[in-house]
Amino acid sequence: MTTHGSLQEAVSARRSSSSAGKSKGAEEKIVAEDITLTAAQLLVRCLENEGVEYIFGLPGEENIRLVDAMRDSTIRFIVVRHEQGASFMADIYGRVTGKAGVCISTLGPGAINLLLGTADAFTDSTPLVAISAQVGLNRIHKETHQVVDLLSMFKPVTKWAEMIVDSASVPEMVREAFEKAQTSRPGAVYLCVPEDIEAISGLAGLRPLARSDKADSMPGPAQITRAAQVLQEATKPIILAGHGAVRDYAGAALVRFSERLRIPIATTFMGKGIFPDDHPNSLGTIGFMQHDYVNFGFDEADVIICVGYDLQEFDPVRINPNADKKILHLHRYPAEIDAHYPVTASVEGNLSAALDGLAAIITPKEGLDAEDRKIRNLLREELEYGAHADVYPVKPQRLVSDIRAAMGDSDIALVDTGALKMWMARLYPTYHPNTCVISNGLATMAFAVPGAIGAKLAYPDRKVLAVTGDGSFLMNSQELETAIRERIPFVVLVWVDDAYGLIKWKMDLELGHHSFVDFGNPDLVKYAESFGARGYRVEAAADLLPTLKKALAEDVVSVVVCPVDYSENIRLTGKLGQLTQPI
């Protein structure tokens, strides 16, 4: 059990960091009063103890006591328009902060709607705690209204999924949920709260459990020695940094490692920004659906140093098609087994310590060669081509170039899934981690608009831009109302082509034609304005950058609508398909 003193320290820490603006008296009430509680009130106090500042969700008949218990708490409850939106808000909040985002719903259909964002967090290794109601234990055993087996639904897409069957276990189960979500490999967890458990009252003597700081796991000297031997013998090594390096805050160590050993580095889509794209050792981002410029760097390599790379980010066959390259696996946990990821040596533990330990005992390499420099130049030339493309509808390269010009280095762009993701992931220069947020585990559509709410709450001092296609935008555009009501300003940039552009691209590429991918749109400017947002339509390529700058400078919710010329898609894949070397 937590002592009054240790819990008071936790409350004091929350008071200094929370933006909820609750009164001192309300916070001290958590520990100062020795009163009886309902299970719902106890659950909320346990969430406060975990440092939860925001919860995203919807009220329902079966969770009204939990929602009501937040009225007198330090937690800001963000009422959303769809539970899927709540799950994406929690997902992205957890992604950019490293602290578990929390979303809640009622039972049945409400809980099912939480599944998509929960699964996205699970596959992207993002800490998230999903909480839903369930029917009472007195009727869960039989056919009854709104009963589905929620535990069985959530278990495949979470690290841990359990149901509270005893009110006395609330502190332990909440503590375990956050421990599972935030430690080792982060991910989503699920907690199910039956209606009759939530309603229990008269609880006394129960308190949130203290959080414990665990010692960091450091890499073993023998592992570093073995990896150093492999790397010392390499003639053409290359580094691949993935999302695990972002989660481990290994950016500074990656720069030191690359600079000292003079080894070029590429990142995955989800690793963008962990190594600055303007660094001379940067080769850009890998993960495009065809053999891209960056792939040539891996073609020539004999050793690939994978730092925080998760196989779900993209298939290792794309960088080691013949399974003949040596792999150094640097991560918090062992590698997945894959025929094209044959690990020669593994270093497990704190990634910064692993990188610094290796760098200290290895002789520097020769550095970037002419082929590596060609890769950098090709990407730069493609972006510069876009900056000067004045045709309308606007070319994707121009959209990427103008977004970069409008955004500060630390501002956050959330890039939805679709054709635009390929252009942004390949070309958008990124200088800090979690400033170009891409989903590539589940790679779900429609996370960017609700996700922007989570990102802005996490970093209110940064500009936040949701970059989305017209297909994705209308899937969760209702959350514009949430942002306006809650006064959470951000900008949405909609790339409009009246089609599911990525599928159209894929069909044209593989089938030579496309079908059933086109749709119509409402007037998206008027649509945005009907919510109370500001709407802008880009009428010429030259209007894009000033419109973006204007919208980003305003402290309101804005939607910028820009038609895009996706004929560049086939031109790009045709060009890449003809390349046999990066020239």
Domains parsed from the chain with CATH numbers: 4-198 (3.40.50.970), 221-368 (3.40.50.1220), 373-578 (3.40.50.970)
Strand 326-331's sheet: what is its strand order?
Answer: 282-286, 265-268, 237-241, 303-307, 326-331, 343-348
Q: CA-to-CA distance for 477 and 582, rounded, in angstroms?
A: 41
Copy the structure tokens of residue 44.
Answer: 């909320």
Q: Residue 365 has what pLDDT?
A: 78
Q: CA-to-CA distance for 218 and 553, rounded, in angstroms?
A: 44
**Average pLDDT of the chain to the nearest whole number:** 91
Q: Residue 7 has what pLDDT?
A: 30
Phi, psi for residue 113 in degrees, rounded to 5: -65, -20
Q: Using omega within 30 degrees of 0 as the cis cutoff, is the peptide bond preceding 393 cis?
A: yes
DSSP state of 238: E
Q: Are 315 and 340 in contact (CB under 8 A)?
A: yes
User: Residue 509: what residue type?
Assistant: L
From 95, 114, 116, 94, select the one nearest 105 (Cα to Cα).
114
Q: Are 249 and 355 in contact (CB under 8 A)?
A: no
Q: Residue 469: in which H helix or E strand, if any?
A: strand 464-469
Residue 67: CB atoms within 10 A of its CB come to 19
What is the distance, to the nearest Å, from the Cα of residue 317 to the centroid of all Cα atoms in its chain? 24
Q: Residue 239 has what pLDDT?
A: 97
What is the tens place of the pLDDT at every residue in 72-95? 999 999 999 999 999 999 999 999
Copy the structure tokens of residue 105.
Answer: 């719903």
From 186, 204, 53, select the one nearest 128 (Cα to Cα).
186
| Distance spanning both ends of the chain, measured CA to CA | 65
CA-based angle 578:581:583, to the nearest 5?
90
**In 143-250, alpha helices (H):** 150-154, 170-182, 195-198, 221-232, 243-247
Q: Residue 366 has what pLDDT?
A: 78
Q: Residue 579 has what pLDDT?
A: 61
The contacts of residue 164 (CB under 8 Å, 6+ apart) are 39, 170, 173, 191, 192, 193, 194, 197
From 118, 123, 128, select the one nearest 95 (Cα to Cα).
128
Cα–Cα distances in Å, from 186 out to 127, 270, 374, 395?
Answer: 5, 15, 37, 38
Q: Are 560 and 548 in contact (CB under 8 A)?
A: yes
Q: CA-to-CA distance for 100 and 113, rounded, in angstroms?
A: 19
Q: CA-to-CA distance for 59 and 106, rounded, in angstroms?
A: 7
Burial environment of residue 543 by CB neighbours within 10 A (0 to 12, 13 to 18, 19 or more): middle
Residue ranges, the chain, pLDDT below 70: 1-34, 368, 370, 578-583
Q: Are 348 and 185 in contact (CB under 8 A)?
A: no
Phi, psi for residue 210 in degrees, rounded to 5: -65, 140
The contacts of residue 580 (CB under 8 Å, 6+ apart) are none
Q: Residue 35 has what pLDDT?
A: 75
Q: Residue 25 has what pLDDT?
A: 38
